[in-house]
Structure 1
């Protein structure tokens, strides 16, 4: 059975800047605590490395299923990945240099290898997603201060 978490945050930057930053998956380790690296593959997929339990790491591949500039990005893990996850992020321009970012994640914890790691990654998923979004906000708004 799949589980889901949804969170939103308002970022003090225009939708173009916010979308561009989010669509640069390689920058996710700058604001997502458990993500260690994201690498774009020649076929357009991405390879993710995250912290696992007791100092281990977990790796999986994902592909983007929807890419609407300044509006939406959706993805899912590839077949054969130890983590089964999907989700989407939408961007709503609020005017006056603000953008609402809405993230929905779905996942299922497999009973086989990787299930314990996924369970570790998704301990308190609502809280973790809220923290990651807050760090994204600080990351974007901090760039404006230092620009």
Structure 2
């Protein structure tokens, strides 16, 4: 995940994430917690209260023959009200490409 500087484990359900800012400018750190973990089926998480960017995500795993289909949902609420929402609209395509590239890399790694 090229856009991440670090992920630190706090305990079995909580972690601290630091992502690089757009175009490598600055960084953003937040804490998240796993809210549901169903082995080989579902993993979901959310940011912890006080995160600079509230976020939620889930990954669904579905067996398709000898392969596994992965469905990912990530949502977030940009900070700074209307200005933050405007910036988020501009950055969404970049963010989507980052996630797509990360998943493609994970797929290639797991299949090799």
The TM-score range, normalised by the shorter chain, is 0.7 to 0.9
Match for residue 69 of structure 1? 39
- How many residues are paired up? 106
The gaps in structure 1 that reach 5 residues or longer are: 1-31, 143-147
Once the two structures are superposed, residues 57-116 of structure 1 have per-residue CA deviations (whole angstroms, 9 ceiling, x without a partner) of: 1110000010000000000001101111101000001122x100110011111117xx59
* Counterpart-to-counterpart distance in 2, 1:87 and 1:42: 19
Match for residue 80 of structure 2? 111
Alignment of 1:1-147 (within 5 A): 32-42=1-11, 44-53=13-22, 54-96=24-66, 98-111=67-80, 115=84, 119=88, 122-124=91-93, 125-142=95-112
Structure with greater strand percent: 2
* Counterpart-to-counterpart distance in 2, 1:91 and 1:123: 24
Could you say if the C-alpha distance between residues 42 and 126 of structure 1 is closer, same or farther in structure 2, counting changes exceeding 3 Å?
closer
**TM-score normalised over the length of structure 1:** 0.64
The gaps in structure 2 that reach 5 residues or longer are: none
Runs of 4+ residues over 4 Å off in structure 1 = none
**TM-score normalised over the length of structure 2:** 0.82
